[in-house]
Chains A and B, each alone.
Chain A
Amino acid sequence: MKLPFLERLSFTGKKVKLKNGDEANTDAHIEERNQGERAPHPFWVIVQKEMADQIRSWRFVILFLIILLTCLGSLYTALTNIRDVAANIDANNAFLFLRLFTISDPDGTLPPFITFISFLGPLLGIALGFDAINAERNRGTLSRIVSQPIQRDYLINAKYIATLIMIAVLIFTLGFLVMAFGILATGLPPTWDEFWRIIVFMLMSIVYIGFWLNLSILFSIRFKQPATSAISCIAIWLFFGVFYSMIVNIIGGIGNEADGRFTQVLSNLNPNYLFSDITTILLTPSIRSVGPLTMEQVVGAIPSTLPLGQSLLLIWPQLTGLIAATLLCFALSYVIFMRQEIRA
């Protein structure tokens, strides 16, 4: 009985204020409308909706299960082989726990955890983003959303943030799961250094997957058909994952040895390569350099492992490279999306 009356009250209030055209008054109106219960910011409304959509979707569930199974598989291999590794390990650099993430089967049947992440991670990013915008356009929901009083960039930002949160949750779930199983099975607790290395490794994985997510969102804005954007993304992923290193090797083979630097630069343009550098350095503390070292540089060096801070310094260029690539994709999608005309 009481509520319709209130509704009408606020409605007539709105009309009066509109006639004044006074901005402060209309803001007051909005506040008045929100009183009692606080309304979330529209940006977080979209983020919430996107996350709910992802969780409900079959594709997320399927991808989650695939990645979970492969990770448990690689953990199993690591656990069966860790005894041999432990026997051979040097007592001085005893980062045995980290080896859980990097041990591969001696027969080569199952690759280690990090390989799975660097292989399936891009697929996850692409799968969650390739139809972000064009599916909405095709369903006719895009023009309805952009005609609501929100900034247009909220939509892509919110989609990006929501998917990134989902990816972060997934990566941390898996990482901690592997860690927990590792502790349970071996009875070996990680040192603080090892723990932080794993945390940083997971953060880096999120940045890496974020790059692929951004690329696929860019394609979903650019291409009208979800199939086109999916195939283009997968093509780029395959190119960098498989063919790029072959091409670099061929170029390296043509030139003489002095061109080692050149091939190094070429390789660094490959996001896959950057990520594998990052993971190797993070999870293998004994690695001291990404490139070749001359004899003069090695002279006088103490043969020990690097502390985490030094390893982080080593991967700094790779990390900034990945972030730069991500930002480039994001800037492109932003420019294209803001200029695009959205027709029903």
Chain B
Amino acid sequence: MVEPIITFENLTKKYDGVLAVDHLSLTVERGEVFGLLGPNGAGKSTTILMMLGLTEPTSGQVKVCGFNSTREPKKVKERVGYLPDSVGFYEDRTGLENLVLTAMLNGVPRGKATERATRLLKEVGLEEAMNKKTGKYSRGMKQRLGLADVLIKEPDVIVLDEPTLGIDPQGVQDLLQLIEKLSKEQGITVLLSSHHLHQVQQICDRVGLFVDGKLLAKGTLDELSQELFSKEGITTIVKVSEVSDELITMIKNHPSVFEVEKVDKQNLHVKSETDVTGGLVHLIMDSGKSLLELSIKEYGLDEIYHQYFQGGGNHEAPIPRTT
């Protein structure tokens, strides 16, 4: 069942003549986890703000659950939970009180709000800190409380802006697993923005790459790597006891190999149109060297990311890199 829940149509936002978001068209389907990836300042947050009707697009439109975000922001906000990147809570109130306030702003009566908040706090693992003031919460706890805060309105869509920022690796794992679990169990659509590729690639069904306000590519990780690297063929990493010129010439003579790159004394990168591992094993055996390692390089998001940034390297301003 493929049903679009968020559609961006030619969305454009200009700040003082500078394009922050440039004709973005994108569809997110119900129930999927979509990762909006890009460096800082790529326009991810601006896109999210326009989606919630918190800022007006210069042109184009966003529809969430069938409602135009600019014209009917209230209807959109009833259905979308938003976790800003530096989420804050009323520090002299407890986590439970903060959640109850959010629920009541969504029209849930107090009794029910308390019950729902208690259940959610258990789910995100803040059961013990429930009655502690949020001023005493750690960064990771605040993010988990933030997650409970977006879930308390029983949203159809949750939008998480840099949810993993500033949390330790274990905390990131826990948080991502929690997001994945909630998305799968309750059928909530998740749109999350990040510049941390490794963290996000494990839970995203699809990703969109964002640079300078433009969506450069979108699709599943496999699709993206195929699209990008098909012209480059398959890279095989070979480790032998010693790399000699003779060996390189031998490999180059293989019909489907088109490039051999010597990395160091023992390592070679072989690019070919088809899988040549079998042939390589024979060649190396014949050359009298011993084969230590042989593998086909797999492309993660990192490579895709770098590839795009190299391709789009003619920016006027340098892209601020991740910290």
Contacts and interface: CB of A to CB of B under 8 A. Distances in A.
Given A37-B112, A141-B88, A148-B77, A18 B156 contact: yes
Given A140-B88, A148-B102, A344-B85, A18 B65 contact: yes
A44 to B, nearest CB: 10
B112 to A, nearest CB: 7
B216 interface: no
Given A341-B54, A341-B55, A34 B107 contact: yes
A147 B110 contact: no
Nearest to B105: A148
A42 B87 CA distance: 21
B286 interface: no
Interface string B71-108: 00011011111101111111110000000011011111
B313 interface: no
Contacts, number: 108
A343 B49 contact: yes
Contacts of B52: 147
Of A45, A139, A148, most buried by chain B (CB within 10 Å of CB) is A148
Q: Categorize the interface residue count of chain B.
A: 35 or more
A170 B81 CA distance: 39
B154 to A, nearest CB: 6
A141 to B, nearest CB: 5
Contacts of B81: 147
B49 A36 contact: no
Contacts of B101: 45, 49
Contact of B107 (A15, A42, A140): A42
B107 A146 contact: no
A21 interface: yes
B115 A3 contact: yes
Contacts of A143: 54, 82, 84
A141 B107 contact: no
A116 interface: no
Nearest to B154: A11
B53 to A, nearest CB: 9
Contact of B84 (A15, A147, A151): A147
Interface in A50-89: 53, 56
B104 A341 contact: no
A97 to B, nearest CB: 43
Nearest to B5: A18
A4 B246 CA distance: 72
Contacts of A139: 88-91
Interface string B254-285: 00000000000000000000000000000000
A203 interface: no
A261 interface: no
B109 interface: yes
A344 B109 contact: no
A39 B55 CA distance: 29
Nearest to B78: A149
B22 interface: no
A150 B74 contact: yes
Interface in A153-170: none
Interface in A1-41: 3, 7, 11, 14-15, 18, 21, 26, 30, 33-34, 36-40
B11 to A, nearest CB: 15
B86 A344 contact: yes
B107 A39 contact: yes
B312 interface: no
A7 B112 CA distance: 10
B107 A33 contact: yes
B106 A140 contact: no
A150 B105 contact: yes
Contact of B66 (A21, A39, A145, A148): A21
A103 interface: no
B17 interface: no
A230 interface: no
Nearest to A30: B107
A151 B73 CA distance: 9
A127 to B, nearest CB: 17
B70 to A, nearest CB: 13
B77 A147 contact: yes
Contacts of A146: 54
Contacts of B78: 26, 149
B109 A145 contact: no
A140 B77 contact: no
Contacts of A343: 45, 49
A46 B105 contact: yes
A7 to B, nearest CB: 8
Interface in A318-344: 341-344
Contacts of B161: 344
B74 A149 contact: yes
Contacts of B288: none
A141 B49 CA distance: 15
Of B49, B105, B115, most buried by chain A (CB within 10 Å of CB) is B105
A138 to B, nearest CB: 8
A21 B5 CA distance: 12
B101 to A, nearest CB: 6
Contacts of B74: 149-151
14 contacts: A21-B65, A21-B66, A26-B75, A39-B107, A140-B87, A140-B88, A143-B84, A144-B84, A144-B87, A144-B102, A145-B105, A148-B153, A149-B106, A150-B105
Interface of B: 45, 49, 52, 54-55, 65-66, 74-75, 77-82, 84-92, 101-102, 104-112, 115-116, 149, 153-154, 156, 161, 186-187
